[in-house]
A and B are shown apart, each in its own frame.
Chain A
Amino acid sequence: MNIAWPIYRRMAEAFPHEFKLAFGDEMMQAGEDSIGEVAKRHGAAGVIRLLADLALRLPLEYLSEMHRDMQYAARSLAKSPSYALVGVLSLALGIGLTTNVYTQAWALLVRTLPGVANPNQLVTAETPASYPYIERYRDQKDLFTGVAAVQNNVQFNVALPGQSGKPDRVYGQLVSPDYFSILGMEPQRGRLLNADLDKIGVTPAVVISDRYWRSHFNADPEVIGQIIRLNGQNATIVGVTPAKFDGALTPTPAEIFVSLTVPATLAPELGDDVLHNRNLKPFQLLMRLAPGVNIDSAESALDGITRRLDKDDPLAPSQADKAKRLVLMGAGTRVQVPRDLRPKILGFYTFLMAIIIAIACLNLATMALARGTGRRKELAIRLGVGASRFRLIRQMVTEGILLSLIGGAAGFAMAYALGALAAHTRLPAGSPLNPDRSIDWHTAMFAFALAIACGIGFSILPALQATKTDVAPALKQGTAVQLSGHKLFGLRNLAMGAQVSGSLLLLLVTGFLVLGILKSNSVQTNFNPKTMAFLFIDPVRDGYSPERSQTFFEQLPDRLRSSSAVTSFALAVQPPYLPGDDEDFHLTVDDPHSSSPVQKGVMKETVGAGFFAVISQSLLAGREFDERDQRLNIDPTSQGAGQSLPLILNQKAAHALFGGSSAVGKHLRGDRQEYEVVGVVPDMKDASGMTQGIAYLPLTRHDFAQPPSGGIVIVARGHSAEDAIGGVRTLVASMDPNLTLFNVQTLSEYLELIRAAMRSALRTFGGIGLFGLILSAVGLAGVTGYAVAQRRKEIGIRMALGARKSQVLGLVLREGATLIAVGTVAGFLGAVALAKAMSAITTAFSDAFSLGVGDPRLLIGAPLLLAGLALLACYIPASRAMAIDPLKALRQE
């Protein structure tokens, strides 16, 4: 009893205000009266029952209040449909765009891989490693519970059972058999790869992804045990991965998982004795940290081991000793980001999302503030009849939340539509499939939480402001009462200024990105792009032996020359204009007189004879590769046989390595191989707009015997691209009808698709900028409109006293113009500072920013556009003020 009464009182006091107003006293008294009697009659159980009744009723009463609030809010919104419409629209745009950014970025950077146990324990190294090193890492049982080797984006020619015609090209991963056990994954069907079963010498087993199973086997439960042809060899499907899993360590989906214990005849990537050769580093590491080991200690331990291993190898290039040999990063998400870069990238996206939402909220807040002024009479009446201030605030916040929830639903629908649009964007042929960025319940939760936060966020301050009312004057004068806050730094002015500057900041930052992307995407060709086509071919994966493949490629040029449809051609590993390989290729100037040799990292491209002639690119100096170079038989894995390979540098690389002096004839070392510079070409922009230092290596017999994973591309020109395609097809078919030509595409198609892929990024960023523009215009118009309505009487008096229309216009516009000017300056400075800061802290944006920032169209145009639009938004209500009839305005009171 002694303890129960204070608890009872506390709980009774916690009931909603309205409820307490009607029943509070009585409930208190009833409790006081009955608590002793209950204790006497039912004992402790009775008292507990009494308190439980209160505890159960408490949330119910609040829910019922909320329900009433919602009904009231719906009615009140229905009464001002234009406010509701603009509000829902801005919130839909704000929440939709934020959710879209969230799905785009978060799905890749934050969401953990599906079907994987404890993804936070997974780590990988930033650089690939050789298999013998990986075996040594695997011995560190105290650091890792497992270390797998993974080769990404491996393409296979796959023929399904009963498939007639040419095989399909499928992206997959070549993995050590412990891959799935390290991921801690359970199969959806059958079994996964397994170190005990998938040994060297047993029948090759493959695991297919859930996606591939659905798309190619129609989710057939009988798929296990089926035999498929993989690069011309038999392999058995043993299992299907869990739903949605399509590979770790890869941003692009893998559809097929093959153990690296299969013979090199099946996977040519395993040639060159790659599992025992410490000079080849094709494998990425997938490691699971042992319990209690953190990533820093694992990194320093592995770094030490790598250092010792390097020391044992006399041929390893000497490295600056302080530099880390091995840097670890988390591997539990789809895209891996170096640990130091991760917070910056996430920070950028968070900032972007925050500013979008802030603008939407500010917009609504200014409208709600203005609306609060219009509702002063209503609010005063309710305060007068006994509603608490808290109650009114809650009512207004409920209105905000309701508006926000409707906006959130519309925004979610918009994000869904944008996501579907992105998923259906066609990619250039030969690109892997789109990664799965579909919207899931995480996203829905995010949008919902965002909507609630917005609803509270934008309505709380205006509600506080609006309910700060003296009842008597408000009742007397109604809406026309002079707001106390006509101050320069009033809440409304601050909100408006912040909104203008935020919108401009958004417009400029996204504008920088858009312009940067646009500029970078204008690939210039020296010829008509409609005359060129690419055709990929890969005889080894069609079942050729290395020798037969070599012979084929040696005969191909002569045969192509005889074709009338093909006017010029070249072979290469990559089609021209494609963004370069990310892998750095280190070249060192071979200068016996220098104590500190110049070493530079450049991009590596492998091109065949006549490559530059086909793309009509003349050389600055020296010669380009010819067919003699193509016949060189140098195995890049052998320890530098003393023969040097010819090499062509682009201007940027030549300048970096040799400064002003001529590069032709100079010698270089790289990858244990001697090179002699035979030519220099001008820098060419690739499709991502960057000009990097590039070293062009010749295509050699080794590449023909063992084409890289993407095959070899025939770059052919004819009178038209279609002619060239037809010519090559006929010719290859005449040499061997069983050879597959894949990813066949004209250059213009290819460029168009690259642009299309970039356009989705443009749409997002451009949409965000435009959104800021529209919202701030709408907000300004709304607020100025309310201001005019509020000052009707004042304007009426001024006009009655003889004020000219232009003076009235100036009066109304002056306030708006000041806000716009202040906001524009702040936003402009903010955007430039932000762009500079972003470029400084990370290179990820610097290219786009540096291309966009200097553009005068944007720097002058965007502020002018925004200011112009904002002024127009103010002008419309202001011109309405001019039409006020002084007689009517005065009579109204």
Chain B
Amino acid sequence: MTEARIQSFIPLKTQWFHIMLSLAAGEQHGYGIMQDVLDRTTGKVRLWPATLYGSLKRLIEADLIEESKKRPAPEEDDARRRYYRLTTLGKCVLDAECERLQELVRAIQTTRAVATQRG
């Protein structure tokens, strides 16, 4: 897995980032991802169904996520649901994107701190 391949996905599309972030915690199904993103962003970001599943399809095609064979306990399971998890490539890409965003936040903080001092 080359660095170039990872970098080709950076910056990640917003929906992709949210989906992958939800999967970072572990396997999840589509509707769960939707709820997770809603909760995490306190309702600010909503992945509408068609966008969600269209993105999942493309993430699978891009080899960033894959379908997981591991399923929850039978009493919680819904046979219609499919569970997804990050691939190794997906993890690397998510790490790289997080790194990029953190640098961005650091840069913002430094710049604003300087501005406040001068101000």
A53 contacts B53, CB within 8 Å? Answer: no
- Cβ < 8 Å to B, chain A residues 27-51: 27, 29-31, 33-34, 41, 49-50
B43 contacts A53, CB within 8 Å? Answer: no
Interface centre among A12, A27, A54, A56 (most CB of B within 10 A): A27
- Cβ < 8 Å to A, chain B residues 60-95: 78, 80-82
Interface centre among B29, B34, B57 (most CB of A within 10 A): B57
Q: Does A60 contact B (CB under 8 A)?
A: yes
Q: How far is the CB of A48 from chain B (nearest CB, A)?
A: 11
- Cβ < 8 Å to B, chain A residues 49-92: 49-50, 53-54, 56-58, 60-61
Q: Which residues of B contact A33 (CB under 8 A)?
A: 31
Q: Which residues of B contact A41 (CB under 8 A)?
A: 43
A57 contacts B31, CB within 8 Å? Answer: no
Counting chain B residues whose Cβ lies within 8 A of the other chain, the interface size class is 10 to 19
B49 contacts A30, CB within 8 Å? Answer: yes
Also in contact, A23 and B56, with CB within 8 A (given A29-B31, A30-B34):
yes
Q: Which residues of A contact B80 (CB under 8 A)?
A: 25-26, 29
Q: Which residues of A contact B78 (CB under 8 A)?
A: 29
Also in contact, A53 and B51, with CB within 8 A (given A19-B57, A22-B57, A23-B56):
yes
Q: How far is the CB of A27 from chain B (nearest CB, A)?
A: 5
Main secondary structure of the interface of B (DSSP, over half): helix
Q: In the complex, what distance in Å separates the CA atom of A31 from the CA atom of B47?
A: 12
Q: How far is the CB of B6 from chain A (nearest CB, A)?
A: 23
Q: In the complex, what distance in Å separates the CA atom of A12 from the CA atom of B52?
A: 13
Q: Does B119 contact A (CB under 8 A)?
A: no
Partner of A26, one of B30, B43, B48, B54: B30
Residue of B nearest to A22 (CB): B57
B34 contacts A23, CB within 8 Å? Answer: no
Residue of B nearest to A56 (CB): B50
Q: How far is the CB of A162 from chain B (nearest CB, A)?
A: 65
B53 contacts A50, CB within 8 Å? Answer: no
B29 contacts A53, CB within 8 Å? Answer: no
| Total count of chain A residues near the partner, CB < 8 A | 22
Q: In the complex, what distance in Å separates the CA atom of A61 from the CA atom of B51?
A: 10
B54 contacts A31, CB within 8 Å? Answer: no
Q: In the complex, what distance in Å separates the CA atom of A30 from the CA atom of B30?
A: 8
B50 contacts A27, CB within 8 Å? Answer: yes
Q: How far is the CB of A22 from chain B (nearest CB, A)?
A: 7
Q: Which residues of A contact B51 (CB under 8 A)?
A: 53, 57
A54 contacts B34, CB within 8 Å? Answer: no
A50 contacts B49, CB within 8 Å? Answer: yes
Q: Which residues of B contact A34 (CB under 8 A)?
A: 31, 34, 49
- Cβ < 8 Å to A, chain B residues 26-40: 29-31, 34
Partner of B54, one of A12, A50, A57: A57
A58 contacts B43, CB within 8 Å? Answer: no
Q: How far is the CB of A50 from chain B (nearest CB, A)?
A: 6
Q: In the complex, what distance in Å separates the CA atom of A61 from the CA atom of B49?
A: 13
Q: Which residues of B contact A26 (CB under 8 A)?
A: 29-31, 53, 80-82
Q: Which residues of A contact B54 (CB under 8 A)?
A: 57, 60-61
Interface centre among B31, B43, B56, B82 (most CB of A within 10 A): B31
Q: In the complex, what distance in Å separates the CA atom of A30 from the CA atom of B82?
A: 12
Interface centre among B29, B49, B82 (most CB of A within 10 A): B49
Q: In the complex, what distance in Å separates the CA atom of A12 from the CA atom of B30?
A: 15
Q: In the complex, what distance in Å separates the CA atom of A61 from the CA atom of B61?
A: 13
Also in contact, A30 and B31, with CB within 8 A (given A49-B48, A58-B50):
yes
Residue of A nearest to B31 (CB): A30
Also in contact, A53 and B49, with CB within 8 A (given A25-B80, A30-B30):
yes
Q: How far is the CB of A365 from chain B (nearest CB, A)?
A: 34
Q: In the complex, what distance in Å separates the CA atom of A54 from the CA atom of B57?
A: 15
A23 contacts B30, CB within 8 Å? Answer: yes
Question: What would 26 A/B residue contacts be, using CB atoms closer than 8 Å?
Answer: A12-B50, A19-B57, A22-B82, A23-B30, A23-B82, A26-B29, A26-B31, A26-B82, A27-B30, A27-B50, A29-B78, A29-B80, A34-B49, A41-B43, A50-B49, A53-B48, A53-B51, A54-B48, A54-B49, A54-B50, A56-B50, A57-B51, A57-B54, A58-B50, A60-B54, A61-B54
